Amino acid sequence: MSAPTLSRTSTRLTHRLLNPQPPYRCLSCCRYLAQSQEPANHSGPTPTTHFGFQTVPSSSKQSRVANVFTSVASSYDTMNDLMSLGTHRLWKDYFVRSINPGTRDCEEGKGRGQTILDIAGGTGDIAFRMLEHCTVVNKDHASKIIVSDINPDMLAEGKRRAREGGHDHSGRLSWLEANAENLHTISDNSIDLYTVAFGIRNFTSKALALREAFRVLKPGGVFACLEFSKVNNRLFEAVYKRWSFGAIPLIGQLVAGDRESYQYLVESIERFPGQEEWKGMIEEAGFLLPGGEEGKGWEDLMGGIACVHKGVKPLG
């Protein structure tokens, strides 16, 4: 983006923040509503879930989320930079270091390496980092990564980046269009490491996705999740929420011409379970928490804006 464009965007954003408009009433993705009307069900109550702050039929959430990410696929990382002032890159770097993917000194053809599944990883942001960590840090040239996403546009963006970054020639990346709540093409007990970064809050059934993660992981395999969470300081929380709900949708409107999608993303962050509740859901799926009984099960980043959760599938 050119300097004049950034300057104009900054000026408009500052003006709008200092001179707030009447509260934005989330018509969060009203265009998706028109596309996803459900027929009347006279056999009983229709199962519902949340889509941002809306309550919607569970059967329609997948298509609504797909529309959001189709809309933002090409500008997703640019918008993440603007929304987080670049800190999402630091969080992702730390996340990958903390899980330490790969097998030490595993040369191609001389060791098994790991099979890694990166869920909701369409753009390749986490997969490319893990591939580099395996190769450079652990001298592992055998581990392979499956990049899975439900959205073909996000996968197409990831494949484009893989070609441009030279990653597609490694033979260690594969791409899978799949729903994380039904990974029927992946065998039981076949994955060493399951990662999901800034994606699981968009799932229709998080509990079902956790059960699928447990099923596909090998005994001793690790579930690792990086996601937005709850800020643990009240003053900081107030400032953060003002920024999130006041600035982020406006940035989406000014930079990407899409306020509604980013309004949904902000709302989805607000609706995601807090640290303690999410830890409990991971345990309910059957995972053990690292660190034994004293292990908290998560690590806050930047006061809880983001959080790393981990679980281990029992050996028995």
DSSP state of 39: P
Type of residue numbered 240: Y
Sign of the CA dihedral with 180 first, then 184, 188, and 192 last: negative
Contact between 124 and 146 (Cβ < 8 Å): no
Written as six digits, the tokens of 124 are 């390749």
- Are 69 and 62 a contacting pair, CB within 8 Å? no
Alpha helices, DSSP H, located in 134-288: 152-165, 206-216, 234-251, 259-271, 275-284
CA distances from 72 to 69, 104, 172, 260, 264 (A): 5, 37, 27, 11, 12
9 is annotated as contributing to ligand binding: no
Ligand-binding site membership of 168 (annotated): no
**C-alpha of 304 from chain center:** 16
Is 179 annotated as belonging to a binding site?
Answer: yes
For residues 302 and 50, give the distance between their C-alpha atoms in angstroms, rounded to a whole number. 27
Contact between 302 and 233 (Cβ < 8 Å): no
How far apart CA 147 and CA 155 sit, in angstroms, is 8
87 is in an annotated binding site: no
- Helices and strands (H and E) in the chain: how many: 11, 9
Cβ atoms of residues 309 and 278 within 8 Å: yes
C-alpha distances (whole Å) from 209 to each of 153, 229, 279, 281, 296 are 21, 18, 14, 11, 22
Binding-site residue numbers are: 123, 149, 179-180
Binding-site residue numbers for S-adenosyl-L-methionine are: 123, 149, 179-180
